[in-house]
Amino acid sequence: MNYEQIHEGRLELIRAYAKKIWEVLIPKMEVWDEENPLFDVFNNAPFLSKADVYWGDINVILWGSGSFSTGRIELEEWRRAKNEIPNLPVEYLAVVSNNKKSNARKVAEDFDLPLVEIDFKEWYRENYDKNSKNPIKETGLFFPPGSELPDDVEHRFKIREKFEEGLVELLHEKAKTYADTILFNSLRGYNFPIIHSYGMFFDDTHPADLSYVDENGIPLYPGWQSGATQKMIKDGHKIFRSSLIWVHSIGDIKNIQNVDSGELLALSEGISYNGRDAKEIQNIMKITEDSMLVALKAWGLFPLLWSYISHKVKIPYKMLDDTVVWRKEHNIIVGKRERGGARAFGGQNFRLHLENLLDDVKSLTK
């Protein structure tokens, strides 16, 4: 199977619909007043407010810790979108990393973006333990629901919190933003959970289908890298999808086991399982699945046309036998349609959902 061909075909689908959607939206955005029908798009406590759109660009920051392979795809698609859609109101402002051995510097240089980087290992050894053998492991904060927390978890939390504060301060300095600037942050292989939101919005691509939960509504496939994919193989899945999720900051140590539990924003179309191991599937998914999700952002469809209901309601998710399980969370609206949980945008209905979104934009801008 030619996965590069699948990759390009899926991106071309998103590009084609993005051009049609922006062809409708941009003339409306150029004349902005209270009679503009676009105001109605932002009525339900949206990710973007009327003021955000009025004042200009959707400002995006790219975060990562490793190869930046998915992040590079996102920036490549953004550059292409800027060239093909005049006045596209999407701007990437910086590349952020906690690892000087990552590809962050190369990516920042290639796309002429400021690099915001503090190497965590060096920072930890300079400020806490100069003899540390594995600073990341020693301060790790990923503990799946039900697992036992280490005795020093509060100390770990405070260390990561202090590091993040320094990184965000440097971000505002390098990207020339302010503490109250609305920033939409792409977590593309960033290996630390976010402690505080600082008023910013974070989304993440996750290498598994988070529409599946257990009887208590807890996601079946959290985890880092190929671990989540391995769990899907073990459960007998034959189709593998990536998830785009709204990442809620931990905020407080009591929420430390809620990683990968944010609202589901979109699902990729999926690839079939042909006996490959989890790591190989995950690498293929970066090409065919994650690229679909980041292209939605690079071409400005997300988060512009995504919104959410401010109060929490019961949202349907599914168990392995397709039994519905209800979780209380924000309902996600895409265009004019409910797309929360198991009804998430994309999946096997990706093309149909793009067509629905185009129809909704035409309807909303009459």
Peptide bond into 37 cis (omega under 30): no
* Strand ranges for 227-267 from DSSP E: 239-240, 243-247, 264-267
Of 44, 20, 39, whose CA–CA distance to 29 is shortest?
39
Per residue in 57-109, pLDDT tens? 789 999 999 999 999 999 999 999 999 998 898 999 999 999 999 999 999 99
The overall longest dimension of the chain from CA atoms, in Å, is 65
Over range 299-316, report the average pLDDT: 91
Which residue intervals of the chain are DSSP H helices?
3-30, 50-54, 69-84, 104-110, 120-127, 135-138, 153-174, 226-234, 278-285, 291-298, 350-364
Considering its fold, how many domains does the chain have in total?
1
CATH code, domain with 197 = 3.40.50.170
Per residue in 170-222, pLDDT tens? 999 999 887 667 789 999 999 999 999 888 899 999 999 999 999 999 889 98
Q: Quick one: tokens of 171?
A: 């971000």
Q: How far apart are CA 262 and CA 99, in angstroms?
A: 25
Domain with 170 in it: 3-364
Of 336, 299, 296, 244, whose CA–CA distance to 89 is shortest?
299
pLDDT of residue 275: 79
Is residue 233 within 8 Å of residue 275, measured between CB atoms? no
Place 50 in a pLDDT band, splitting at 50, 70 and 90: low
Q: Quick one: tokens of 191?
A: 């290996």
Per residue in 95-151, pLDDT tens? 999 999 999 999 999 999 999 999 999 999 999 999 999 999 999 998 877 789 999
